[in-house]
């Protein structure tokens, strides 16, 4: 996980609707420590095939305020995704999630996988928020068996996988706390997987293609970031959260790319996003964008659809789904 430059608000004491109508004095992210774990050998995996591939969701997750602010417009949108997941004809056996807040530090072509078979303490990877945000709890289940399956799939697909022990960062527990609110008993085990350390669009498309086979084993893939994410410009809209020009333009370009014809056309459009003239405004660093490249790679021939969006200053809260959902 990378450290973002600290965001210092120039409007201290002013209530802002950005990221959930909280008084912000500063917002930055801190590195999460990971503990390398020994990689044991498990018995051969027996694949359980399903009649339909699981869908893929891209969640724009926001900061820790998201799960504490039910009045924010994104809150019911995330809840509706939770109901959709819970109402599918085949409930997912597990969730594999990629977050913007975990980039591999283990070298080129190497992905880190949380291999703990028990839930670890949450990572509160943010600064400058009220104390109660650092006491937020999100009970969840882990799965060493699913973790090993992910490791096997990565290694078989030509991506080196390294096992680590690491709690969930806020790119996972914040949106999931809303998504599964009231549905906790139906929430399957969660395994978090890192992004690559390098901010390379093609490599993250490839990563998605490698893990796509998990969808045929009733494992739900979730990718978590932000459609537009520029913390440095938040002060510009502190009084008026009207979307900045690049927020609207990049948000629309992302929709067009995701909803384009699956295959080489969509892959090309996704790679072109990181070459746009407005990309350095929409994403000064790419870690919040690259999760959706993983989603596109994993989608294969399934179409992408924007479920909802809202521009808010220098942020976009767009939510996407790849593939169809059959109600139970």
Per residue in 220-242, pLDDT tens?
999 999 999 999 999 889 889 99
Classify 300 in phi/psi space as left (phi over 0), alpha (psi -120 to 50) or beta.
left
Burial 188-227 (b: 16+ CB within 10 A, else e): bbbbbbbbbbebbbebbbbbbbbbbbbbebbbbbbbbbbb
Orientation angle between helical segments 201-211 and 290-299, nearest 10 degrees: 40
Tokens of 310: 């809202």
Please report how the helices 245-258 and 290-299 are oriented relative to each other, as an axis angle in degrees rounded to 10.
Answer: 20
User: What pLDDT does 51 receive?
Assistant: 55
Rounded distance between C-alpha atoms, residue 218 and residue 90, angstroms: 8
The C-alpha atoms of residue 234 and residue 249 are separated, in whole angstroms, by: 17
In this predicted structure, the answer to whether residue 4 has a pLDDT above a threshold of 80 is no
- Confidence at residue 21, expressed as pLDDT on a 0 to 100 scale: 32
Tens of pLDDT, residues 231-288: 999 988 988 999 999 999 999 999 999 999 999 999 999 999 999 999 999 999 999 9
Of the candidate ranges 25-34, 75-84, 108-117, 173-182, the one whose mean pLDDT is the lowest: 25-34
What percent of the chain clears pLDDT 70, i.e. is strictly above it?
84
Confidence check: pLDDT of 16 > 50: no
DSSP state of 121: P
Q: Please compute the mean of the pLDDT values over residues 167-186 and round it to a whole number.
A: 98
pLDDT at 32 over 70: no
> Cβ atoms within 10 A of the Cβ of 286, count?
24
Mean pLDDT value across residues 8-13 = 32
Predicted TM-score (pTM) of the model is: 0.87
Query: With 50 as the cut, is the pLDDT of residue 43 above it?
Result: no
Which pLDDT score, from 0 to 100, does residue 42 have? 39
SS3 state of residue 300: coil
pLDDT above 90 (res 197): yes
Contacts (Cβ under 8 Å, ≥6 apart) of 70? none
Does the pLDDT value for residue 304 go beyond 60? yes
| 46-73: pLDDT as tens digits | 344 445 899 999 999 999 999 999 999 9
CATH class of residue range 7-29+48-322: alpha beta
Q: Report which secondary-structure segment, H or E, holds 164.
A: strand 160-165
Residue-level pLDDT at 89: 78
The percent of residues in the chain predicted with pLDDT above 90, rounded, is 80
Half-sphere exposure of 114 (CA within 13 A, CB side): 33
Give the pLDDT confidence score for residue 123 in this predicted structure.
99
Please report which confidence band the pLDDT of residue 314 belongs to, taking 50, 70 and 90 as the band edges.
very high
List, for residues 117-167, the tens digit of each pLDDT value.
999 999 999 999 999 999 999 999 999 999 999 999 999 999 999 999 999
Task: Give domain limits for the chain.
Answer: 7-29+48-322
Cα–Cα nearest to 274, from 264, 284, 261:
284
Do 225 and 313 touch, CB atoms closer than 8 A?
A: no
Q: Residue 271: phi, psi to the nearest 5?
A: -70, -30
The pLDDT of residue 235: 85
């Amino acid at each position: 996980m990378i450290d973002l430059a600290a965001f210092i608000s120039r409007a201290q004491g002013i209530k802002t609707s950005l990221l959930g109508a909280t008084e912000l004095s500063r917002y930055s992210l801190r590195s999460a420590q990971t503990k390398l774990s020994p990689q044991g050998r498990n018995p051969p995996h027996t694949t359980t095939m399903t009649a339909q591939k699981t869908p893929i969701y891209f969640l724009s997750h926001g900061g820790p305020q998201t799960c504490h602010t039910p009045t924010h417009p994104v809150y019911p949108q995330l809840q509706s995704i939770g109901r959709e997941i819970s109402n599918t004809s085949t409930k997912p056996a597990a969730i594999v999630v990629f977050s913007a807040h975990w980039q591999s530090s283990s070298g080129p072509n190497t992905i880190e996988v949380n291999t703990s078979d028990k839930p670890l303490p949450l990572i509160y990877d943010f600064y400058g928020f009220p104390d109660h945000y650092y006491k937020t709890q999100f009970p969840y289940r882990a799965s060493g068996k699913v973790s090993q399956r992910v490791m096997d799939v990565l290694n078989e697909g030509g991506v080196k996988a390294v096992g680590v022990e690491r709690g969930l960062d806020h790119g996972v527990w914040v949106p999931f706390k809303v998504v599964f609110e009231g549905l906790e008993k139906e929430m399957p085990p969660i395994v978090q997987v890192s992004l690559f350390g390098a901010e390379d669009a093609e490599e993250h498309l490839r990563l998605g293609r490698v893990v796509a086979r998990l969808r045929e084993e009733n494992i739900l893939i979730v990718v978590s970031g932000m459609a537009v994410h520029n913390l440095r410009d938040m002060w510009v809209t502190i009084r008026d959260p009207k979307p900045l020009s690049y927020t609207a333009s990049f948000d629309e370009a992302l929709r067009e790319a995701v909803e384009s014809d699956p295959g080489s056309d969509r892959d090309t459009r996704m790679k072109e996003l990181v070459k746009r003239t407005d990309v350095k405004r929409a994403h000064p660093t790419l870690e919040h964008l690259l999760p959706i490249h993983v989603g596109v790679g994993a989608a294969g021939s399934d179409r992408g659809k924007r479920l909802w969006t809202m521009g808010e200053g220098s942020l976009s809260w767009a939510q996407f789904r790849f593939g169809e959902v059959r109600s139970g």
